[in-house]
Chains A and B, each alone.
Chain A
Amino acid sequence: MGNVQIVPPREGEGTSRRNFYVVAIYGLWGAISAALGLPALVYLLFPPKAKKGEEWIEVGDIGRLAPLSPVELTFRRTRVDGWKVISEKSTAWVVKTADNQVTAFGPQCTHLGCAYHWEDAKGQFLCPCHTSLFSIDGKVAAGPAPRPLDRYQTKLNGSKLLLGKLQGSPEKKS
């Protein structure tokens, strides 16, 4: 019946009875709307019940990686996409730091998600979209990027690099 104000016709008929009708009509429709609307919101907004936890994915041998020269490694990871489990190509920029630590950055610029690359001449990561620059440890050196590059969880198995979850992007589920 909407929010329209209805001017009741002036009649001698019992107004309390009339009021009861009106209250009942609004009340019952309110209950129906809530019983349909709330589950609908839950249905649309709640994330799907999680399947299994993240696994570690082996991305390659980093034994021969030269320190301070990032390389882009390609690997396949399986991802749950709605009712499907898909296997997709994924990449990471992997850097061996001076003290032999390994970092792996997610392949997307933290500004608007473009693919960035390593500029050897500059010694920085460059995003061509809006020219964000990141230093070798992922910090923003210039440009509109709001935060440092996202990092994967990493684990070493001998010289084999294993990647876990992509961290640092709270709104993105990887």
Chain B
Amino acid sequence: MRRRIRGVNEWVEHRTGIQSAVRQFLYEEIPASSGWHQVFGSVAMFLFMVQAFTGALLAFNYAPTPGDAYNSLRYILTELTGGRLMRGLHHWGASMIVVVVVLHMVQVFLYGAYKKPREATWMVGVVLLLLTLAYGLTGYLLPWDNRAYWGTVVTTQIAGQAPVLGPYLSRLLGGEGAIGVVTFARFYGLHVLLLPPATIFLIVLHVFLVRKHGVAPLPGDELKAKQKFYPQQVFKDTVAIFIAFAILFMMAVAVRVPLEQLADPTDTSYIPRPEWYFLFLFQTLKLFSGPLEVVGSVVLPGLAVLLLILVPFIDRGQMVKVTRRTVALAFVLLAAIGWGGLTAAAVRSTPKEALAAAVDYSGPTDWMQLSPEEMVGIAYFRQENCVSCHAIGDQGKAVGPDLTKASIHKDAAWMIQHFKRPSAMRPGTSMPPIQLTDAQLNSLAAFLLKLNEKNATALDNAPDFAAQGALLYQTNRCGACHLVNGGGMKIGPPLNGLSKRQSRSWVEDHFADPRKMAPGSIMPSYKLAPKDLENLTSYLFALPD
């Protein structure tokens, strides 16, 4: 058997030379000083492979048109096993790759590893950084939710501002006029057809150049014996890759990537925010206004990139110890502070509205179909902690009967009596009486009568703001004039689809003074506490159209 394998190996080696090529690659000599600080390049390359892999898997179930993108992504997230994990890996991997690429550059910069003869390696690296950002920019649009749409509106407008090239650029991106099918197709094309081969080509070139010039030695290395790339450095690279992957995997599992509402070009209240690593650019833009805006959007970033590319030609001294490269260190610190400050400022200036309880449409949405009264029932059900005794499907304790079973459903009058004095209706029961008013018990009964095995999940996944919002809706008797999910009166306008008609701030102002916002309105004004106002508005905005 052994002999057989060796024979096959020899045959392959003779025809292709793969084995000796691999051996040459692995037993490459590297300086004695190589070690943990040089792992970032390998990690970045690994993350690129993860992106390619998860990206291809997502593409198998994704329809790249504005009409279908959102629905197919929702299908991936809610219908397919493992779909949420794949999207999580791809989403967080994108952020992580930016971090790792920047760390890689900082390491090379601090060590001065870009110096002669390694200038070309550095410049190819800078282009790779730009490509990484280009993925982020083009990929941002692909979920086609509000965030994606409005973020891209800003991007294309910035591109359109570039001196001389602006109009051509925006025509190239299909962003003339409105963002629609053309822009979408081009972004997708860039993201999956153009950028990957370009990246692969540049990575190969980058690695080739690293190999050609050898890993940059430190002063003093020439006196020590060289070491081999395999296995020691490969081990270090592998450990670093594993740590990065473990973090990525945990984030993909634990941190849910929300999918917002379907892109709505008429939603004038939406405040777009770019991905976190672009926030500093976004903030820079705000420092300039009027005709100077182009300075912040195009000129400064352009100069920064140019400077980055020219680094090896600006700093041309001999290689020195890292600890003596104080200017480089100061430069990195300054850049980090500048970046951090701008990002923090951008986060701080993000209005509350952009952060307010966004409804996650990638989760189950069956609760949106419930009437306000049933939703209020959920609120009381939670408040009275009914699950501590009753099973709901397979959840909850089984002291009392399973409330999803239709067989135990009696009429509302019976249930209300039973809630008030349980033992009067069911002698011997251990259920305590529920201390609620008749109207409140009515809501609870309405909800319980509707409960069956199929809709029991709504009980679990109805967000708290919806239950609280419905409670406010009920106590303020909004249903006496308005229609929600087909229940209520038609004196005022129906409230389904409110989010399509009005902005959040309009609705909130309208509660305080209806006549100011809509002259001639007969709606009384409501003074609500800020938290209540937020819950009620969020609830109304989450109603299906």
Contact = CB atoms under 8 A, between A and B. Distances in A.
Contacts of A9: 27, 228
Contacts of A25: 231, 234-235, 238
Contact of A83 (B53, B63, B89, B228): B63
A2 B27 CA distance: 15
Question: Which bucket holds chain A's interface residue count?
Answer: 20 to 34
Contacts of A36: 50, 53, 89
Contacts of B238: 24-25, 28-29
A21 B79 contact: no
B43 to A, nearest CB: 12
Interface stretch (A40-48, A95-103, A114-122): A40-48
Contacts of B231: 18, 21-22, 25
A21 B232 CA distance: 7
B235 A21 contact: yes
Contact of B241 (A21, A32, A40): A32
Given A40-B57, A40-B82, A48-B80, A24 B71 contact: no
Majority SS at the chain B contact face: helix
A27 to B, nearest CB: 9
B182 to A, nearest CB: 23
Interface stretch (B15-23, B114-122, B419-427, B537-545): B15-23
A46 B241 CA distance: 29
A23 to B, nearest CB: 10
Nearest to B249: A35
A28 B239 contact: yes
Given A32-B241, A83-B63, A83-B75, A39 B22 contact: no
Contacts, number: 85
Interface string B1-36: 000010001000000001100110011000000000
A4 B9 CA distance: 8
Question: Which bucket holds chain B's interface residue count?
Answer: 35 or more
Nearest to B71: A83
Contacts of A1: 22, 26, 234
A43 B57 contact: yes
A145 to B, nearest CB: 34
Contacts of A6: 22-23, 26, 230
A35 B57 contact: no
A42 B22 contact: no
B22 A2 contact: yes
Interface in A10-32: 18, 21-22, 24-25, 28-29, 31-32
Nearest to A26: B238
Given A28-B242, A43-B57, A82-B72, A21 B81 contact: no
A159 B302 CA distance: 77
A5 B9 contact: yes
B83 interface: yes
A49 interface: yes
Contacts of B85: 39, 43
Nearest to B235: A21
Contacts of B89: 36
A21 B82 contact: no
Contacts of A42: 81-82
A84 interface: yes
Interface of A: 1-2, 4-7, 9, 18, 21-22, 24-25, 28-29, 31-32, 35-36, 39-40, 42-44, 46, 48-49, 82-84
13 contacts: A4-B23, A6-B23, A6-B26, A9-B27, A22-B231, A28-B239, A36-B53, A40-B53, A40-B82, A43-B80, A82-B72, A83-B68, A84-B71
Closest 5 CB pairs of A and B: A83-B75, A43-B82, A21-B231, A48-B79, A21-B235
Given A6-B23, A83-B72, 19 more contacts: A1-B22, A2-B22, A4-B22, A6-B22, A7-B23, A9-B27, A21-B234, A24-B239, A25-B235, A31-B242, A32-B241, A36-B53, A39-B86, A40-B82, A42-B82, A43-B82, A48-B75, A83-B63, A84-B68
